[in-house]
Structure 1
Amino acid sequence: MNKLKHILLSLLLLLIVQPVSAQQEQGIRFFKGTFEDALKEAQRQNKPLFVDFYATWCVPCKKMEKTVFTQPEVGAYFNERFISLQLDAEKPENVETAKKYKVEAFPTLGIIASDGKAISINAGFVQAAELIEFAKTALGEMKGFEQYWEDHRKSPQDLGIQQELLIQAPRFLTTQDGMDAEKWVVRVRKLYKSYLERKMADGSIINKKDYMIISSLGGNDESETQQMVEYINANLDKWISAVGESAAYYIIEKNDERMLNLVKDGNIKYKEYLEKIRTDYKKAYDVIKLKNTTPYQKSLDYYDALYAIYKDKNVSTYIERMKRYLDTLGEDANGSDYASAAQSLYYAAASKLRPEDHRQAIAWLEKAIPTETVIMSKVNYLVMAGDSYKELKDYAAARKYYNQAYAESLQLASMEQAQQMVQGAITYKLATLDLLEK
């Protein structure tokens, strides 16, 4: 009887454990060890290395880890062909490796040969199908950029070849250095421009692949960008049907950029683009859902406030309008809204700020700092708050914010040059406080 119980118990444990083990085996099996150890294992098995360069604070990194790397088809593909490694790029022992492979954003995904040479590097979140396509291209299972370029030279009018070239161009350009990089950028820009002209002429540009090309390669030329905004807006229903509301947000983003640039130049022409929010671009802006105001009123309050400080250097009017803007937003206001309000105050009128203006800036920053996840931005906000406290002669509070900024900058280990510059500036500010306190 005891033996029977033991057998039944063993079977029950197997039933409990097996699903968990199966789930663990479905996705990518990541190597446990250092980059050097993983590279040696890649050499031993004669496989390339797949590296997920991540940061502990990176939300898209965590999303990929939970929703992409765990998918069965991803695991089946990568486990057979790669030694896979997850590397915290900001750990001191990994900083040089991250620098070598030009890791400047997270996540960054690298396909690296067993001799350590980068085959392909991709920055940013990708879905499972895109990840597999990225790997297949790197392994030569799918055509890569240079192969498509040879095809393009043979058939220069083939739009299908051009489309594949332009889709792969951003990833390819990240692997180029110096004169080679400059040469390829010129070639890609020329091809991109002619491609857009032909595809817009016959309307065949309205599809997901071409939208991806526009999003990744567009924006360098102002008139070209405005032309694309008008084209998408004129065909917005078709674009939304093809790619979703991101097409509307493209119009919003570019129109907002235009208004911001005009306002910073003190150019009243921003009013023309402001008016488009409730006329020409209304359908696009209608995708923004606000509880207490409208997209037009929100933009009116915001850009009118900015114009007051950039054009007229009128700090009082700016603060009055910006407070109204934030109050009207109510629960729709987020940390970046408060940070933007403080930043514009500093950038446009720092030397003209009165004590009460510094106190207002601090109040806005204190709402922005707790929710900020981008380290460089958080450091910037902390330093600005410290600067205002220094102007108010509250040196203890200034020191507290500078020290907190320095502590946050320790997370910038993978960006060594930027980290050194930031820490040098903060150290100087702390030294200045020592002199002021004597």
Structure 2
Amino acid sequence: MKKLIIVIIMLLSITTYAQKINWMSFEEALTAQKTTPKKIFVDAYTTWCGPCKMLDKNTFQNKDVVKYINDNFYAVKFNAEGNEVVNFKGETFTNPNFDSNKKGRNSSHQLSGYLGVRAYPTMLFLDEENNLITPVVGYKTPQQLELFLKLIKKEDYKNIKSQEAFTEYASNFKPEFKE
């Protein structure tokens, strides 16, 4: 009986540890949104970006972040210098200057420019009609990202009209995500 309990505890801990964000392509998220509208969270990254890798390792592995994103958003992992073809808002976006032989920086994807991505990482929030709500630029800890996740999910952003209002909102925010 003790061995069974130990095995069950080990399996539960592995399952909890192994939870990951349910990343989708843009196409998959846009298709899912047609049947069940939900906001979209986009991680616009590049393969060479150090802070992007830190987000993957630290923030996107945090169980609170994983659960909140999976429960409330369609999550898109988008290589902002990749060669994916994306149909978005009636237009087709590609990366015509993509060079598959390059190991480092590549040309920017057309969709990156369309969405205003200028630095990496940039996390984008889109509403249920695929309109850009806001970009969040740079590495964020789980608690820093929590502020934006909840601000967008609860639609509090609609009441914030200035930098001062955002600063006040952020100073009153009490993070709940664990390290």
After TM superposition, is the score higher than 0.5?
Answer: yes
Deviation at 1:54, TM superposition (A): 0.6
Q: In structure 2, what is the Cα distance between the partners aligned to 1:111 and 1:59?
A: 22
TM-score by length of 1: 0.30
Deviation at 1:18, TM superposition (A): 4.2
SS of equivalent to 1:92? coil
Residue 126 of structure 1 is matched in structure 2 by: 140
Residue 156 of structure 2 is matched in structure 1 by: 143
TM-score by length of 2: 0.68
Matched, 1:103 2:97: no
SS of equivalent to 1:47? coil
CA distance 1:116–1:17, change in 2 (3 Å): same
Q: In structure 1, what is the Cα distance between the partners aligned to 2:73 and 2:118?
A: 23
- Which of 2, 13, 22 is matched with 2:16 structurally? 22
Larger radius of gyration: 1
Is this contact kept in 2: 1:112–1:120, CA < 8 A?
yes
Is this contact kept in 2: 1:109–1:123, CA < 8 A?
yes
Q: In structure 1, what is the Cα distance between the partners aligned to 2:128 and 2:44?
A: 17
Deviation at 1:142, TM superposition (A): 6.0
Q: Mark the runs of 5 or more structure 1 residues left unpaired by the alignment.
A: 1-7, 153-161, 169-207, 210-438
Deviation at 1:76, TM superposition (A): 2.4
SS of equivalent to 2:118? coil
Q: In structure 2, what is the Cα distance between the partners aligned to 1:163 and 1:103?
A: 24
Is this contact kept in 2: 1:43–1:115, CA < 8 A?
no
Deviations 1:207-244 (A, max 9, x none): x96xxxxxxxxxxxxxxxxxxxxxxxxxxxxxxxxxxx
Matched, 1:77 2:68: yes
Percentage identity across aligned positions? 24
Q: Mark the runs of 5 or more structure 2 residues left unpaired by the alignment.
A: 85-93, 95-108, 172-179
- Which of 92, 105, 116 is matched with 2:130 structurally? 116
Q: How many equivalent residue pairs?
A: 146
Q: In structure 2, what is the Cα distance between the partners aligned to 1:103 and 1:81?
A: 23
Bigger share in helix: 1
SS of equivalent to 2:128? coil
**RMSD between aligned alpha carbons?**
3.0
Matched, 1:40 2:31: yes
Q: After superposition, where does 1:177-216 map in structure 2 within 5 Å? A: none
Residue 63 of structure 1 is matched in structure 2 by: 54
Q: In structure 2, what is the Cα distance between the partners aligned to 1:121 and 1:167?
A: 19
Q: In structure 1, what is the Cα distance between the partners aligned to 2:155 and 2:32?
A: 25
Deviations 1:352-395 (A, max 9, x none): xxxxxxxxxxxxxxxxxxxxxxxxxxxxxxxxxxxxxxxxxxxx
Is this contact kept in 2: 1:28–1:75, CA < 8 A?
yes
Bigger share in strand: 2
